Chains A and B, each alone.
Chain A
Amino acid sequence: MRNILLVIKHEIRTTIGKRSFWIMTFMFPVLIVALSFGSQLLAEKSFANEEVAGVLRSEAAAITGLVDEAGLILHLPPDVPAKLLQTFPNQASAQIALEANELDRYYLIPEDFRQTGEVILVVSDYSPLANLSSNTLFKYIIDANLIGDDALARLMIDPTPNEVFYPQAVDVQAEDDNGVTSFLVPYTTMMLFFMLISMTGNMMLTSVTKEKENRTMEVLLLSLRPRELMAGKLLGLEIVALLQMSIWLGGGLLAQGGGGQVLRSSLAALTPSFVLWALAYLMFGYLLYASILGALGSLAPTAREGAQFSFLVMLPLFIPLILNTIFVESPNGGLATFLSLFPLSAPTSMVTRLVSDAVPAWQPIVGLVGLAVTTFFFISLAARFFRADTLLSSASLTRQRLLGALLGKENQEGRPSRLR
């Protein structure tokens, strides 16, 4: 036990003594906060009622001409600057202006517009992408003149300008955030857990391979049983992971006092019950992946060779990140539920669902039990790899060798010679 404690202490001291650890610990939340504020600013710019014209204005990079043969456009909505539209008495004069590069496009509303609904857009240069550009500005102007009600026309552009978001997850407070939070919170949670587990898991891989690379392993094996070494490393880095999470959570709670609406509503998800679930999933998720990566490290002669396989190991945790939209759009859907109950993807998926929606009470429990059992299985498997002949081996890590070790067959240095 004393040896395990010494290894734990050494791993913690070694890891937190690195500048890179602190840069990552503080830079990551800064990035998240920047993302939150950025999104908030974008949200305020994009969705605020009085700024509809701002969106429309963004479409009008240059002055647009108008030939109104139907006599439809009698006024411009107040949030559309008059200078954005230059009216011409007929198509010929508009065409002259276009050819003289005074404008790059003009709209022609034919006389029979009310019967046909057809509007002609004439542009100076053909561009395939031009066809993809939006005509929201002009539609808004036409709607306003057809209906005679500017407010109604605005609603036709954005029918739900005052959307209210009521998260159904337990203890999560509702916030009016125009839907930004509903995406940002799950995505941030998933990203945070993915980063935390993959970073600390990979620290385990690096820690083992480094001791092989710098040839301290042989001296250590005279002082420690291989499994003591593994336990010390796993627990030491677990504490580092918890420390990192605590710093991030603590920073988040401190930021609750300040920050913008999006940030505050995002942090409202940090309720005690959620934090407890998150901690449990983080602990088992970390142990699961760190034990797999530690086993990989015991077989790999160098960190570089180990890293080649680490992406494959992390893939089940990465898949929910790729499919993150399902956790926003349908957190209780079949795929999201499956991923949150499947032990290898549960650490990120379940926690993300817990902040996205009300999850049936049995699911986090079943997910955690499955994760715990799988973690126990993989730790036992990793312990089989943590033995002197693999730890002292400099044989290359190949798929065949990996498979052989998994099946308990001879490795390149010979048959397993298990220690104790």
Chain B
Amino acid sequence: MPTVEISHISKSFGSTRAVDDVSFRVEKGEIFGLLGPNGAGKTTTIRIILDIFKPDSGQVSVLDGSLDETKKNRIGYLPEERGLYKDQKLETVLLYLGTLKGMEMSAANERLGEWLHRFDLYQHRHKKVQELSRGMQQKAQIIATLLHEPDLIIVDEPFLGLDPVNTRLIKEIIEEQRFAGRTIIMSTHQMYQVEALCNRIVLVNHGRTVLYGEVEQIKRDFAGNAVVIEGQGDFSDLPGVLQTRRENSDWHLALQPGTNPQDVFRALAAREGIKIERFEIAEPSLDDIFISVVKGDDEVEGVDNG
């Protein structure tokens, strides 16, 4: 049984359709990426999974069935718009949130000590939250998400505001949770983190599913939709190219769906002042795929994302 299964869910706010017939499954013990540009409907989808919002239509199954109060205590959630009680002591806040998740105070106290030590926050436990740095507050939020050892962890932009050291720490903890058999749904804009961590992803845009499957398979499917060029000259504004970016001495071109790399090559050959030293059909990064799919979808929708 999948840990989360949502089937054809839709949700509107007034005349805005925030989620439109979205379906996906999240298997037990996997890290699943819920991706999409800002305003795509990710947060609404998460809130529907968490029973904060009821869908207008469709089915949601979480931890083998409908979500009830007991099951809610088996979920850890790190929302994108996060915050803690700023005028209260760190320890008090975390214990309150832990006990609200069904933990006994003694157990919460004991486990909190371990987490605080691990995150280097133990000596700050009696400080008010507002006295902590942004990074410390971020780590405290992650403790609040994991303190009650949830079976399903939903993290929205977990690396936001963290330095490279703490980013690595959080990454390790996410992997550690997966090894412990927990299911993780991660929403982030950092595609390299998704590539590094996620088994499968769903990409939503304008409330609809536009891409869904295993990361490796998706990359294979999109091979040919990106080329790498080494050379000199102007490689911008080529027909059928969605985005051109320079990485070191290479040019990375993300192609529109349906554009053949040979067409790009021909266009380059016809352009004046171009010298090509290397032209390679690349395996696209998730970043390229994200841009390719979202921009392509926007063009179909007639939306200008700037």
Write the residues of chain A forming the contact surface with B, with a CB cutoff of 8 angstroms: 3, 6, 10, 13-14, 17-18, 210-211, 213-216, 218-225, 388-389, 392, 410, 413-415, 417-419
Residues 83-136 (chain B) with a chain A CB within 8 angstroms: 83-88, 92, 96-97, 99-101
- Judge whether B219 is part of the interface by a CB distance below 8 angstroms: no
Cβ of A213: which chain B residues have Cβ within 8 Å of it?
83
Which of B14, B50, B82 touches A415 (beta carbons < 8 Å)?
Answer: B14
Q: How far is the CA of A216 from the CA of B88 in the complex (A)?
A: 12
Cβ of A211: which chain B residues have Cβ within 8 Å of it?
85
- Judge whether B12 is part of the interface by a CB distance below 8 angstroms: yes
A216/B84 contact (C-beta < 8 A), A222-B72, A414-B12 known: yes
Stretch at the interface among B2-10, B73-81, B226-234, B237-245: B73-81
- Judge whether B270 is part of the interface by a CB distance below 8 angstroms: no
- Judge whether B52 is part of the interface by a CB distance below 8 angstroms: yes
Interface contact B85-A417, CB-CB below 8 Å: no
The 5 closest A-B pairs by CB, nearest first: A414-B13, A215-B83, A223-B100, A214-B83, A414-B14
Interface contact B14-A419, CB-CB below 8 Å: no
Q: How far is the CA of A14 from the CA of B93 in the complex (A)?
A: 10
Cβ of A218: which chain B residues have Cβ within 8 Å of it?
52, 77, 79, 81-82
Q: How far is the CA of A3 from the CA of B101 in the complex (A)?
A: 9
Interface contact A388-B14, CB-CB below 8 Å: no
Cβ of B16: which chain A residues have Cβ within 8 Å of it?
414
Q: How far is the CA of A225 from the CA of B50 in the complex (A)?
A: 12
Residues 46-77 (chain B) with a chain A CB within 8 angstroms: 47, 50-54, 69, 72-73, 75, 77
Q: How far is the CA of A417 from the CA of B13 in the complex (A)?
A: 9
- Judge whether B253 is part of the interface by a CB distance below 8 angstroms: no
- Judge whether B144 is part of the interface by a CB distance below 8 angstroms: yes
Interface contact B54-A417, CB-CB below 8 Å: yes
Cβ of B12: which chain A residues have Cβ within 8 Å of it?
414-415
A389/B53 contact (C-beta < 8 A), A223-B101, A415-B14 known: yes
Instruction: State how many angstroms separate the Cβ of A5 from the closest Cβ of chain B.
Output: 10
Interface contact A223-B73, CB-CB below 8 Å: yes
Q: How far is the CA of A223 from the CA of B71 in the complex (A)?
A: 10
Instruction: State how many angstroms separate the Cβ of A284 from the closest Cβ of chain B.
Output: 29
A214/B85 contact (C-beta < 8 A), A388-B47, A414-B14 known: yes
Interface contact A410-B83, CB-CB below 8 Å: no
A223/B97 contact (C-beta < 8 A), A214-B83, A414-B12, A415-B14 known: yes
Cβ of A6: which chain B residues have Cβ within 8 Å of it?
96, 99-100
Most buried by A among B12, B53, B54, B84: B53
Which of B50, B82, B92 touches A222 (beta carbons < 8 Å)?
Answer: B50
Which of A18, A215, A224, A389 touches B100 (beta carbons < 8 Å)?
Answer: A224
Interface contact B88-A215, CB-CB below 8 Å: no
Instruction: State how many angstroms separate the Cβ of A408 from the closest Cβ of chain B.
Output: 15
Chain B residue with Cβ nearest A415:
B14
Chain A residue with Cβ nearest B88:
A14
Cβ of B53: which chain A residues have Cβ within 8 Å of it?
388-389, 417
Which of B54, B81, B144 touches A215 (beta carbons < 8 Å)?
Answer: B81
Instruction: State how many angstroms separate the Cβ of B79 from the closest Cβ of chain A.
Output: 4
Cβ of B75: which chain A residues have Cβ within 8 Å of it?
222
Chain B residue with Cβ nearest A218:
B79
9 residue pairs from A and B, CB less than 8 Å apart: A10-B96, A213-B83, A215-B81, A219-B79, A222-B50, A223-B97, A388-B53, A392-B52, A414-B16
Cβ of B96: which chain A residues have Cβ within 8 Å of it?
6, 10
Cβ of A223: which chain B residues have Cβ within 8 Å of it?
72-73, 97, 100-101
Q: How far is the CA of A273 from the CA of B79 in the complex (A)?
A: 52
Chain A residue with Cβ nearest B96:
A10
Chain A residue with Cβ nearest B79:
A218
A219/B97 contact (C-beta < 8 A), A214-B85, A388-B53, A417-B53 known: yes
Interface contact B84-A214, CB-CB below 8 Å: yes
Cβ of B52: which chain A residues have Cβ within 8 Å of it?
218, 221-222, 388, 392, 419
Chain B residue with Cβ nearest A10:
B96
Residues 13-28 (chain B) with a chain A CB within 8 angstroms: 13-14, 16
Instruction: State how many angstroms separate the Cβ of A302 from the closest Cβ of chain B.
Output: 13
Chain A residue with Cβ nearest B11:
A417
Q: How far is the CA of A417 from the CA of B51 in the complex (A)?
A: 11
- Extra pairs beyond A215-B81, A223-B101, A419-B51 (14, CB < 8 Å): A3-B100, A6-B96, A10-B96, A14-B85, A17-B88, A18-B87, A210-B85, A216-B84, A219-B97, A222-B52, A222-B75, A223-B73, A410-B14, A413-B14
Cβ of A224: which chain B residues have Cβ within 8 Å of it?
100
Q: How far is the CA of A216 from the CA of B78 in the complex (A)?
A: 10
Interface contact B79-A215, CB-CB below 8 Å: yes
Q: How far is the CA of A221 from the CA of B13 in the complex (A)?
A: 19
Cβ of B97: which chain A residues have Cβ within 8 Å of it?
219, 223
Instruction: State how many angstroms separate the Cβ of B57 from the closest Cβ of chain A.
Output: 13
Cβ of A13: which chain B residues have Cβ within 8 Å of it?
92
Cβ of B92: which chain A residues have Cβ within 8 Å of it?
13
Chain B residue with Cβ nearest A212:
B83
Chain B residue with Cβ nearest A226:
B52
Interface contact B85-A216, CB-CB below 8 Å: yes
Q: How far is the CA of A213 from the CA of B69 in the complex (A)?
A: 25
Contact with A along B163-191 (1 / 0, CB 8 A): 00000000000000000000000000000
Q: How far is the CA of A219 from the CA of B97 in the complex (A)?
A: 8
A215/B13 contact (C-beta < 8 A), A6-B100, A10-B96 known: no
Q: How far is the CA of A10 from the CA of B92 in the complex (A)?
A: 9
Most buried by B among A17, A214, A410: A214
Cβ of A17: which chain B residues have Cβ within 8 Å of it?
88
